[in-house]
Amino acid sequence: MASTWGEDATFMVNFELPSQNGNEGVSRWMARLCRFSASPNDFLKQLESIVTLDAGDAPERIQAPTQVTHVKGDRVLPVAGGRVLASIIPGATYLEIEGDDHMAWCMPNWRDTTDSYIEFATGQSTHSTVTRKFASVLFTDIVNSTRQSSTVGDTSWRETLEGHDRVTRDLIDRHGGRVVKSTGDGLLAVFDVPSQAVSCAADMLRSLADIGIAIRAGVHAGEIELLDDGDITGIAVNLAARVEQ
């Protein structure tokens, strides 16, 4: 039975990123990753090269300081493999990270992994700071982006995204907000007060419609956690995402 990129992407998210199960944005991102990274034949060749790979005695001859990090519930590469590898490499340290995702950088506790890398490389402990504040959170998302991108082709879709980014970022700046990050076919932004976020979202809907782009926008106001890298977390962020969906 033939399957679609969307169906395949949903399966891959459930298998490789169970923490993101049900997250439509991640499924769309996975579908684009599948389409843009390799053809089905190329991907099959990549898998075959991985499953037939034999490192021989190379791990036993490693002399550089080594840390082996493995997510405990990884379904793609079982944790037993990481434990064996750490036992073979002379003097290696081993760290297991709580979670189930193969792509550890997408887990809610992704900082556990990246902080361990930084501490191992620098020999210094990382100290992240979190500031709590009230803010209005805005999420946007292009309607039917997966279907549109597959219909119009890569070049036209890239131009659509560039037009989207120009309009939305200009409006966010004009309404006194800050872009936190792009979500691929949408964005996350914060404002000091709800009226700014609502006015900005309304202007986005109108301005983007003028250039043929339909979006969804969700706003929620509440207490957020502002991380030292500029990202934001908290229940208010999650609720804004739910409103947008």
User: From the CB of residue 244, how many other CB atoms can be counted at a distance below 10 Å?
Assistant: 22
Q: Quick one: average pLDDT of 47-57?
A: 84
Task: Give the CATH number for residue 163.
Answer: 3.30.70.1230
| Whole-model pTM over 0.85 | no
Domain count, the chain: 3
Give the Cα separation of 58 and 242 in Å (integer).
48
Same domain for 171 and 240?
Answer: yes
Query: Could you read off the pLDDT of 76-110 as tens digits, one per residue?
Result: 889 999 999 999 999 999 999 999 999 888 888 88
Determine the pLDDT at residue 2: 45
Domain range for 28 is 5-49
Does position 125 have pLDDT exceeding 50, yes or no?
Answer: yes
Q: Quick one: average pLDDT of 156-183?
A: 90
Question: Which band of pLDDT confidence, cut at 50, 70 and 90, is reported for residue 199?
Answer: very high
Same domain for 144 and 176?
Answer: yes
> Among residues 105, 122, 139, which one ends one of the domains?
122
> Among residues 122, 147, 162, which one ends one of the domains?
122
Determine the pLDDT at residue 184: 76
Give the Cα separation of 77 and 99 in Å (integer).
13
